[in-house]
Each structure stands twice: as C-alpha cells, then as structure tokens.
Copies of this chain bind each other. A is one copy, B any other.
C-alpha cells in the first residue's frame, strides 16, 4: 500500500540529492552496531547534530548553513550513554563532539606544557587550565572500550538525508528499542542539482537572486516507512515563542511521531517544552541549577528515556 506522497519523497531523495559514495558502507557499520548492542540488551539512539550545508554552486564556494554549534546533540549523547543507551552520533563535520565541550573555549596549545617546564620530551595537560580533563578522559576511554558511541559525519544536506535514511533502515531490526533524536539543524530550503550553476557565481553579474526549493519532509517516510516501530523525537527551534507550541503540535499531527522538543533560540540553554500528543512538559533550569552546572540536556534525556521505556512496554503489551 504505497502512499504516493511518501514514494515521491523517496524518489526526490534519489533524484535531487547526490547519494554519498560511502552510504552502503556506513549503513552496514550502523547495522552491525545495532546488532551488537541488541544482543547485549541495550537500546540504541540515533542522534543527529549540527547544521547542514546547502551548496549554491556545484563546485562549492558558497553555501547556506543553519546555526548550530552541535552542543545540544553532543551533550545529549553523553546523558544517553549514562542512561544505558548505545549512541549513533550523526553529526556535522567539526561540530561539537561528545566529551569535548571543555576544548571549545580554549586553544589546546594553551592547555599543554612541558613536564617540569624544562624537560621537552614529555608534554602534559595543565590541569589548572582543564580541571576536568582526567575525569572526562576516563569516561571517554570507557565509552570507547565498551563501543557505546558510533560517530558518523555529514557536511551537506544531501549527505544528511541519505545517511539518516540509511540509519533508519539499519536500526529497523531493533523495533521499538530504537530511538531517533533528531536535534540537527536541517535546512528547509535547497537548490536542486539540476538548477545549480557549476562555477562560482560572479559578483560582477550584479545582485544575487536566489530561488530555493523546499526540502522534502524526511520525517514523513522515516516514521511511516523506514522505522515505523521506533520512538521518534523531532526538534522545533523558533525565534518567536508565540508560535512555538502550535508549530510543535502541528508537526505531531502531521507526522504522527512520539514527541517534539520545542525551544526558542534565545532561551534554548535553559528552557524547552517536550510536547507529546497528550502531554506538554516544561523543562526549566533554575538559577540554582545553573550555579551547579546542571545542563538542560540532562532533563530532556531523563524525560525521554522514561517515555521511551513506557513506549516499549506498551508495544510489547
């Protein structure tokens, strides 16, 4: 019973977005990761993180991008792992990576020194500059040893779309034990390959008129076709809080997935609303929380892992 709207998205994906050459290899890697953790009785979450690059020229000098440091995705990955999940981290090349937040605001060279100041044979981390390094490195090494984190990179929108599809298919064997946590900042607009100039657009040609098409709503085939049993969370970022909840509800109505994490650009680090068909949970960091370096992602992940547990029980029952 193929629905025309869905097959048309699938068709568009193949036609208008270049397929990355390594997609099959990555898919097999993700499937093997899913099998390994399913056998160990672990749930698996696919986290998408960072912004997508939308080229304006096929030999790309210019591109459209979406604001995202990747902090939400990277931080959430750590909390999911702490909650017993294995994580596939589908992230924008060079966006923030789990366990590396402390490097974000420093130049690594300023945190290194020669042992004892004089001995130039050994380079050590100055723990006054990076006070948490030992703790974080220990955790990172454990996560690596237990193979709990599989990093996959994308840069362009095309890569993102095809790799997300591959991930959904690779995780389909997990049924309700798979979660999709779609935190990436994905472009709504693109220029089809067929309409893209090959060469750099010349500024001597005068002002730039860009006509961009709408990106197919990938959530639709993801929920209906590719991973119909999975627990799917989308994100909604707005700058205008007045339209936020209505937009989140509309998305749930349209795509019939499990939850939307709704947030406003300016307050996103301290306030989100988790919206489901029947509930609406405001998660807020108090001043006290901020002082204690509590992160909003801890609350989001705690809310969603509980909901996922209930979802799995429901499916089985």
Contact = CB atoms under 8 A, between A and B. Distances in A.
A53 B65 CA distance: 9
Nearest to A187: B62
A63 B65 contact: yes
Q: DSSP majority for the A interface?
A: mixed
A114 B122 CA distance: 12
A60 interface: yes
Contacts of A187: 62
Which of A66, A108, A185, A212 gathers the greatest number of chain B CB atoms within 10 Å? A108
Interface stretch (A130-138, A167-175, A270-278): A130-138
A127 interface: yes
Interface string A199-238: 1110100111111111100000000000000000000011
Contacts of A2: none
Interface range, A side: 35 or more
Interface stretch (A3-11, A32-40, A99-107, A294-302): A99-107
Interface in A172-212: 185, 187-189, 198-201, 203, 206-212
Interface of A: 53, 56-57, 59-67, 97, 99-100, 103, 107-109, 112-115, 120-125, 127, 133-134, 136-138, 140, 185, 187-189, 198-201, 203, 206-215, 237-240, 265-266
13 contacts: A53-B65, A60-B67, A61-B66, A61-B265, A63-B67, A100-B107, A109-B137, A112-B133, A123-B127, A189-B203, A189-B207, A207-B211, A208-B212
Given A63-B64, A63-B67, 20 more contacts: A59-B266, A60-B67, A61-B66, A61-B185, A61-B265, A64-B65, A100-B107, A100-B109, A112-B133, A112-B137, A120-B134, A120-B138, A124-B125, A200-B239, A206-B214, A207-B211, A207-B214, A209-B210, A209-B211, A210-B211
